[in-house]
Amino acid sequence: MVREGRISLNEFLKIDQALAEATLQLQPISESPRLDAELLLARALDVQRSYLFAHPEEEMDPAAAARFAATIAKRIDGMPMAYIVGEKEFWSMTLLVSPATLVPRPETETLVDQAMICIPRKSAMQVIDLGTGSGAIALAIARERPACDVMATDLSEEALAVARENARRLKLPNIEFRQGAWIEPVADLVFDIVVSNPPYIAKGDPHLESLNYEPRQALESGEDGLDAIRRIAISTSAIMKANGKLLLEHGSQQADAVSAILTEAGWADIRSFNDLAGLPRVTVATRRNEVKAGL
C-alpha cells in the first residue's frame, strides 16, 4: 500500500489502524513504539491492553480518538510515558510519579540491590534516602526490610507529596519523610545506612536535552556533575554510626572520581558495582570509626 502522508488519529479509525498509525508516528522518538501506542490507546479507551487484541476491528468513538491523539502528541514531543500515565514500575511496585520527581530508572535498582546486601534480612537498622523524589529507593528498602526504620528527605515539597502518597498506597508503616536539603532535616539523628541517587549530570551535558520534562534540580549538579556527591560525601559522616555505609548512584563515567571524593572525605572500603548494562553505577563506602576532623 502506498502511504499518502500521515493519517490523523482523530479520523474514524478502527483499533488496529489507530495502533498501526500511532506506532509509526512514535518510531522516531521511542524505543518501544508499539508498546507505548498500546498502553496509551488502552488508557484512552479505558480498557485493559488485552481488549485491543480481542477487538481490532472495533471503531473508536471520536472522544476516545481525540484523547488518544492528544497523548500521542505529548509522547512525540518527548514527554516520558511515566508522566503521561502518571506511574512507573520500580522494584515490582507501581509508583506514582509527577513532573516534580524523576522517573525511576532500572539502573537505580542496582542501588537497591546493594542496599539489600548491606542490610541483613531481619535487621532493624536506621536507613535514610537523601533526595528521595518519588520515594522509589526508600520505599523498596522499607518494603524489603520491614524491621528497618526508613527516613527519606527531599528539597521539593511537591516530590515529597508524591512519595508520601506512594507510601500510603503501599501501606508501608516504617517510612517517614522530611523536607529539606540532603541531611539538613535529620541533623539530630544517626543512621546505619545512607543511600542516595543525587543529581549527577554535568551542567551543559547534551544528554540533558532529552530529559527536558524531568526536574533539572534532580539531574544537574555543577560543572562536572559531582557537586551533590561532594556535599553528601563530606556532610554525611555527621549522621552516621561507626561502620555505617554510604551507597551512592552516579554516572557511568564517574566511579573513579566518586571514589577519590570519598577517600578524600575519609571513607573506607570503597567499592563500585555495575548496573545491568555492565556500567559502574553504584559506589559503596564505610564510615571509619575515626572521622577526619573538620569533615
Supply the minimum distance, in Å, between the C-beta of residue 196 and ligand GLN: 9
Near ligand GLN by CB under 6 A: residue from 219, 257, 270, 279? 219
Residue 112 engages ligand GLN in binding (rule: CB under 6 A): no
Supply the minimum distance, in Å, between the C-beta of residue 145 and ligand GLN: 23
Residue 201 engages ligand GLN in binding (rule: CB under 6 A): yes
Supply the minimum distance, in Å, between the C-beta of residue 250 and ligand GLN: 8
Supply the minimum distance, in Å, between the C-beta of residue 58 and ligand GLN: 38
Query: In this complex, which beta carbon is closest to ligand GLN, that of residue 177 or of residue 200?
Result: 200
Residue 199 engages ligand GLN in binding (rule: CB under 6 A): yes
User: First-to-last CA distance in the chain?
Assistant: 70
Other CB atoms within 10 Å distance of the CB of residue 230: 19
Supply the minimum distance, in Å, between the C-beta of residue 148 and ligand GLN: 23
Phi and psi at residue 169, to the nearest 5°:
-65, -35
Size of the site for ligand GLN (CB under 6 A): 7
Left (φ > 0), alpha (ψ -120 to 50) or beta: where does 124 sit? beta
Part in contact with ligand GLN (CB under 6 A); list of ranges 12-20, 34-42, 198-206, 272-280:
198-206
Part in contact with ligand GLN (CB under 6 A); list of ranges 15-23, 111-119, 196-204, 233-241:
196-204
According to DSSP, residue 148 is labeled S
- Pairing state between β 126-130 and 267-274: unpaired
Cell output for 264: 578524600
Of 3-62, binders to ligand GLN (CB under 6 A) are none
Dihedral over Cα of 110, 115, 120, 121: its sign:
negative
Residue 288 engages ligand GLN in binding (rule: CB under 6 A): no
Q: Give the chain's largest Cα–Cα span.
A: 75
Position of cell 503501599? 170
Residue 83 engages ligand GLN in binding (rule: CB under 6 A): no
Residue 200 engages ligand GLN in binding (rule: CB under 6 A): yes
Part in contact with ligand GLN (CB under 6 A); list of ranges 16-24, 50-58, 64-72, 195-203:
195-203
d(CA 170, CA 135): 11
Residue 155 engages ligand GLN in binding (rule: CB under 6 A): no
According to DSSP, residue 283 is labeled E
Residue 197 engages ligand GLN in binding (rule: CB under 6 A): yes
Cell output for 209: 536535552
**How far is C-alpha 195 from the geometric centre of its chain's CA atoms?**
13
According to DSSP, residue 254 is labeled -
Residue 182 engages ligand GLN in binding (rule: CB under 6 A): no
Position of cell 498502553? 39
Query: In this complex, which beta carbon is closest to ligand GLN, that of residue 51 or of residue 273?
Result: 273
Position of cell 518501544? 32
Other CB atoms within 10 Å distance of the CB of residue 237: 19
Position of cell 532529552? 210
Supply the minimum distance, in Å, between the C-beta of residue 197 and ligand GLN: 5
Sites of contact with ligand GLN (CB under 6 A): 105, 197, 199-201, 211, 219
